Amino acid sequence: MAIYGTALLSLCLLVGLATGRLLGAALGIDADVGGVGIAMLLLVLASDRLRACGRLPAATESGVVFWGSIYVPVVVAMAASQNVLGALSGGVMALLAGLVSVAAGFAAVALLARSGRKGGAA
């Protein structure tokens, strides 16, 4: 059932957020450090493990897939808005770091696309 997929997502989110808080406390930061990312990894690992054991019915899997597809864009949008707000309030160095990382990402995509054409075309 789809509700079990929601329960699995919720459990992974709670464990991920708790782990992120603990990680933040261990680093001396009063914030969640990667809790949502940890939750996503837990969701992938848990659903893969359940699927491999044959304990993930198709209806439950559809619930995991549905919430996973909603979850990822929402988290990416939240993280992007936080990054932009942090960059705007962080000054010139934060903006420079953002611009350099975006430029490096564009260069990496271009490099990978170019190398893919050389080896992949027959």
Name the residue with tokens 């603990």.
22
Query: Which of residues 80 and 74 earns the better pLDDT score?
Result: 74
For residues 42 and 58, state if they share a domain.
yes
Residue 107: per-residue pLDDT: 95
CA distance 1 to 67: 13
Residues 21 and 53 in one domain: yes
- CA dist 41 and 70 (Å) reads 15
- For residues 68 and 96, state if they share a domain: no
Residue 81 sits in the same domain as residue 95: no
pTM, to two decimals: 0.60
76 and 96 both lie in a single domain: no
Same domain, 77 and 95: no
- Give yes or no: residues 8 and 66 share one domain: yes
The pLDDT value recorded for residue 111 is 92
CA distances, 89 to each of 55, 98, 105 (Å):
48, 13, 23
Q: What's the pLDDT at 83?
A: 63
- 11-57: per-residue pLDDT in tens? 998 999 899 999 989 989 888 888 888 988 898 899 889 889 988 88
Number of domains in the chain: 2
**What domain range is 103 assigned to?**
91-122
Q: Find all residues with CB under 8 Å of 32, minimum gap 6, and list them.
A: 17, 20, 21, 24
Cα separation values, 10 from 57, 63, 68, 70, 106, Å: 18, 12, 11, 13, 35
